[in-house]
Amino acid sequence: MNQAEIGKLMSQLRINVAPRHRNLKNIDGPEGRLHKLRKTVTALIKHERIELYYNRADEARGYAERLISDAIRYGDCHRTT
């Protein structure tokens, strides 16, 4: 099997993209926004695949990736994971 070259898989353009949170509207304010994101990430882990609008999916993806990377790094014995 041939191994792909990393240079061909990554973009050659050097464009800085500043990360920023999405303005997800919620009646309950920031606490309601976090509650929605918590429910979204929980559903994603539980069902493995969900359909969302782009804004919510993009923000939830960051939290899910961080949760998964912490689970891989620390294992299931880590209390916060």
Q: Which pLDDT score, from 0 to 100, does residue 4 have?
A: 58
Q: Inform me whether the pLDDT recorded for 26 exceeds 80.
A: no
pLDDT averaged over every residue in the chain:
79
**Which band of pLDDT confidence, cut at 50, 70 and 90, is reported for residue 43?**
very high
User: Is 36 contained in some domain?
Assistant: yes
- Give CA torsion, residues 41, 74, 18, 60, to 10 deg: 0
Quote the CA–CA distance of 22 and 11 in Å, as a whole number: 24
**Which band of pLDDT confidence, cut at 50, 70 and 90, is reported for residue 30?**
confident
Residues with Cβ within 8 Å of 52's Cβ and at least 6 positions away in sequence, in order, are: 40, 60
User: Is 2 contained in some domain?
Assistant: no
Number of separate domains in the chain: 1
User: Is 48 contained in some domain?
Assistant: yes
